Chains A and B, each alone.
Chain A
């Protein structure tokens, strides 16, 4: 058993017993960690403060055996370091915060550190806490997450033949754009317009990233094996699938 001190974001929590919870954390230096917080619901342990809530940022002390990644770590201390009350003021901010937590938990491996992703997640949550529209921050985080886990698709050329023109479709399975000539042989594909593709090549230039979010959410759904539960809350079915 070793003691680990790290910064962390709470990605999820579920009841383990009457008084304990299993908390899913994204730590900066140690990646995603599942840990048990014994007695957390009793509310009498000052080393836990009052509770550990979803999307909370804090410093954590864990006792863990990293050589046994499938066993739960123990949370021995938790101190909230930053308040994100702004997230709780608007429903769309809360939905967006839960969406980024959900896709992070689903697409990362335990004990696989991604400091850049951690920083991007914290940045996304901070920005969302004051955001009028959530999609710019969420789309920027989608990009960073996919880049960090090595699943950022190729948008500048056909992933099958290398052509750089007539790129009309996107295939999540193939990992990027496919051209008009390669597209007929593929079942899993989605038509993508030039505006969306340009947006995804340089995501920082766009004010309305709706089509980019839509396509990346489609890609993330394929990687997760299901659609994120908060997808629909951020973009309704009628707002999806428009070719631009």
Chain B
């Protein structure tokens, strides 16, 4: 509850508090900061917020966020369209793309299967992925999903669907994170690393 007598300031603080990680004190700080800034800056900020709502769409091929459809990755002829990296969220795509090692294309599921939360396969873009695999002469699908119970469950579900098609299914290696110390690794990390050890 904001208690300023100025209604417009109250309204701004109320809206700011809806943002992740912003509490009443932070909202007040940001509101007063904006009050001190020029009108041009406020207009630029408001314009930028509206622009992401007006211009950003999901690519109809891979469901990545984009301003043009198809997105720059799907329309890039130099990428390997026979290799699809499947991720849960657009943020995961950005993380993989930042490595500079992926030459294939992506498919964003827009979530994972979570039966306990009522999220089923029909809530994701799985059908679109299967259509792509069928139509685009895909050689390999890499299931780069989060190594959580839900991520692994989604991967197993996709694996069973893709088994009926002539396509290689793989997933990124899992185990020890680079830069960590063995003594702090969990039992699962160590077991995964031991099972998946690679020759040097």
Q: Which A residues fall within an 8 A CB radius of B? A: 12, 17-18, 46, 49-51, 53-56, 79-85, 87-91, 94-95, 97-98, 101-102, 229-230, 233
Contact = CB atoms under 8 A, between A and B. Distances in A.
B150 to A, nearest CB: 8
B160 A53 contact: no
B157 A85 contact: no
Contacts of B153: 91, 94-95
A98 B116 contact: yes
A98 B114 CA distance: 10
Interface in B65-85: none
B192 A85 contact: yes
Interface in B145-191: 148-150, 152-153, 156-157, 160, 177, 184-191
Nearest to A57: B187
Contacts of B190: 83
22 contacts: A18-B20, A49-B186, A50-B186, A50-B189, A51-B148, A53-B188, A54-B116, A56-B188, A79-B186, A80-B187, A81-B187, A83-B188, A84-B188, A85-B195, A88-B152, A89-B156, A95-B115, A98-B116, A98-B149, A102-B116, A229-B116, A230-B116
Contacts of B199: none
Report whether over half of chain B's contact residues are helix, strand or loop; otherwise say mixed. helix
A23 to B, nearest CB: 13
Given A49-B185, A50-B189, A230-B116, 16 more contacts: A17-B21, A50-B177, A54-B116, A54-B149, A56-B188, A88-B156, A91-B153, A91-B156, A91-B160, A94-B149, A94-B153, A95-B115, A102-B116, A229-B115, A229-B118, A230-B115
A229 B115 CA distance: 6
A229 B20 CA distance: 30
Interface residues of B, number: 24
Contacts, number: 66
Interface-central residue, A84, A87, A88, A229, by most chain B CB under 10 Å = A88
Given A49-B184, A50-B189, A54-B149, A91 B115 contact: no
Nearest to A56: B188
Contacts of B149: 53-55, 87-88, 94, 97-98
Nearest to A105: B116
A141 to B, nearest CB: 17
Contacts of A87: 149
Contact of B148 (A12, A53, A79, A97): A53
A9 to B, nearest CB: 13
Given A51-B148, A53-B149, A94-B152, A80 B186 contact: yes
Nearest to A93: B156
Nearest to B187: A83
A94 B186 contact: no
Contacts of A12: 116
B184 A46 contact: yes
